[in-house]
Amino acid sequence: MSAAVSTEVGTELPALSVRLKRDDLVRYAGASLDFNPIHWNERTAREVGLPDVIAHGMLTMAVASRIVAEWIGDPGAIVEYGCRFGRPVVVPDDGEGALVEVTAKVTKAFDDGTVKVNINAAFDGKSVLTGAFARVRVS
Amino acid sequence: MPLDPAFIGRSYPPSQPYDVSREKIREFADAIGATSPAYRDADAAKALGHGDVIAPPTFAIVVSMKTNETVMFDPELELDYSRVVHGDQNFTHHRPITAGDQLVSTTHIDAITSRMGNDMVTVRTEISTVGGEPVTTAKSMLVVRGEDA
């Protein structure tokens, strides 16, 4: 357990910015075994009505988990993690990709020694994960 | 065609064991840009009280997706996979997934609802060790977009 950080309700976690490019999507496809072509093939993405290739929702969710893991020190302290997938993160093939900006705040303390951390992940100024939260063991 | 609510409560038999390796955990951590030593260094993980390197919180999707596919491709359910969108996801970790684990998962259909021409299927995957120790409960809500939605 990392006692080095404040886990009081109201604590804001150090913000995290992550740039996702096409090669990140390909790497995640390989690591997660999710080879849905909408995550790497523009033609398929456009055929199903998307503006371009989109990141795996699970990649955005995984990237957003880092804000909690890097803050608490022991990622094993994350006992629950959930979100809804609100909007896609569109990743153009322009060398710039998409910038996902993650912020988080401790919002609740429970009697069982865990706290609730609400997480926001934004792309293009809009939230992409809805109701994202982690429950973290702090004592 | 809407999905048949009679499938609520259906369970699928346990998967073949999934062997969690240090290499797969490191590969997954690399792919999400995660730098925590607990994902890569067994000694660092042990210093935190874990038996070996542990997996990132969403790694369980690698295990649960395999069994979710048995639901999605269940011919009796008649689910059109090309119309499936991931609606939400939740992981409850009874303990972290750890290198060396041999995991089996059992999938259950918890709910089927319809709204505005879309079907929502809630699938719960219980991941445990081959010895029966509960490790992770993964819940996925899958949206099957209707023909006109």
From first to last of the 149 residues of chain B, give the pLDDT tens digit: 678 889 999 999 888 999 999 999 999 999 999 999 999 999 999 999 999 999 999 999 999 988 888 888 888 888 887 788 899 999 999 999 999 999 999 999 999 999 888 999 999 999 999 999 999 999 999 998 887 65
The domains of chain B, with CATH numbers, are 5-20+57-144 (3.10.129.10)
Longest Cα pair distance anywhere in chain A, in angstroms? 51
Enter the ipTM: 0.95
Asked if B105 contacts B15 with a C-beta cutoff of 8 angstroms, the reply is yes
Asked if A18's CB is within 8 angstroms of B92's CB, the reply is no
Q: What are the φ and ψ backbone dihedral angles of A20, each rounded to 5 degrees? A: -110, 120
Distance from the first to the final alpha carbon of chain B: 12
How high is the pLDDT of residue A74?
A: 97
Asked if A32's CB is within 8 angstroms of B62's CB, the reply is yes
How high is the pLDDT of residue A2?
A: 47
User: Which tens digits make up the pLDDT trace of A50-87?
Assistant: 999 999 999 999 999 999 999 999 999 999 999 999 99
Q: How far is CA A110 from the centre of its chain?
A: 23
pTM as predicted: 0.95
- CA–CA separation, B24 vs B36, rounded Å? 15
B72, amino acid identity? M
* Architecture, CATH, for domain A16-20+56-137: Roll (3.10)
Classify each residue of B40-72 as buried b or exposed e, where b means 16 or more C-beta atoms within 10 Å of its C-beta.
bebeebeebebebbbbbbbbbbbbbbbbbeebb
Other beta carbons within 10 angstroms of residue A40's beta carbon come to: 19
Q: What is the DSSP string of A44-65?
A: HHHHTT-SS-B--HHHHHHHHH
Q: Bigger pLDDT: B82 or A25?
A: A25
Asked if B32's CB is within 8 angstroms of A85's CB, the reply is no
CA distance B77 to chain A (A): 21
Asked if B33 contacts A66 with a C-beta cutoff of 8 angstroms, the reply is yes
Query: Which chain B residue shows the shortest CA-CA distance from A75?
Result: B56
CA distance B89 to chain A (A): 6
A38 touches chain B (CB under 8 A): no
- CA–CA separation, A15 vs A120, rounded Å? 10
